Amino acid sequence: MASFDSKTISHIHHELHSLLPSEPALRTRALESLLAEKKLIDPATVDAWIEMYRDEIGPKRGAAVVARAWVDPAFKARLLADATQAIGEFGFAGHATGHLQAVENTADVHNLVVCTLCSCYPFSILGLSPSWYKSNEYRARAVRDPRGVLAEFGVELDEGTQVRVWDSTSERRYLVLPERPKGVKEWSEAALAKLVTRNSMIGTERDLSPARAKA
């Protein structure tokens, strides 16, 4: 007769369900399938829009903003003073960036962005938010143990480096302005933009050196 171990069964049940998409994601997929079946939407068009937001609209837009701030001190000052107005110079302003604040990484300060209540995110300049940004674990631990979270992303900070955690809301969203890496003094703005990553503008990446980009 087979034995029954309630703890083992509970563990298996938890593991299986942890692999499932979230309930909103499942509902979205079901709705998309229904609309496609009724020929109200074209799945290829939906995929094209997703790819455009992921690869073209963002994070390349955010990277362009960061690169401009690296080479233009006047623009950097405007960005830090009023990020919404500054990115408007690129034509990037939108609903998701209507209350945008830029926070600057320095040698002594590292900034990390989270949204503890939901997943507010400036998608119009960063593209689609990564799945981990929306996870309960990240939203809870980024506030409680930011250094531990950063270490898991490969960001090792000196004890003297201050970590500032910024909690996004529908009324305020954040863009991290990474430090300009060393050894790129003569690089063009376009070349610098290629070094900037989505994660660096969230704060889960710090080293943007060319050597690391090639690794």
Q: Give pLDDT tens digits for 48-81.
A: 766 766 666 669 999 999 999 999 999 999 999 9
According to DSSP, the β-strands at 100-104 and 162-167 are unpaired
**Which residue ranges does the chain devote to CATH 3.90.330.10?**
59-214
Residues forming a β-bridge with 137: none
Instruction: Share the mean pLDDT of the chain.
Output: 86
The pLDDT, as a whole number, for residue 17 is: 47
* Residue 118 annotated to the active site: yes
CATH of domain 59-214: 3.90.330.10
Catalytic residue among 120, 124, 168, 200: 120
Per-residue pLDDT tens over the stretch 112-147 = 999 999 888 998 889 888 889 999 999 999 999 999
Q: What is the pLDDT of residues 147-189, one digit of tens each?
A: 999 999 999 999 999 999 999 998 899 999 999 999 999 999 9
**List 22, 33, 118, 131, catalytic entry:** 118
119 catalytic residue (yes or no) = yes
Q: What is the pTM of this model?
A: 0.76
Residues in the chain: 215
Question: Residue 133: which residues within 8 A CB-CB, separation 6 or more?
Answer: 114, 115, 119, 121, 202
What is the average pLDDT across 91-108?
86
Please list, residue by residue across 135-171, b when 16 or more beta carbons sit within 10 angstroms of its beta carbon and e when fewer do.
Answer: eeebbeebeeebeebbeeeebeeeeebebebbebeee
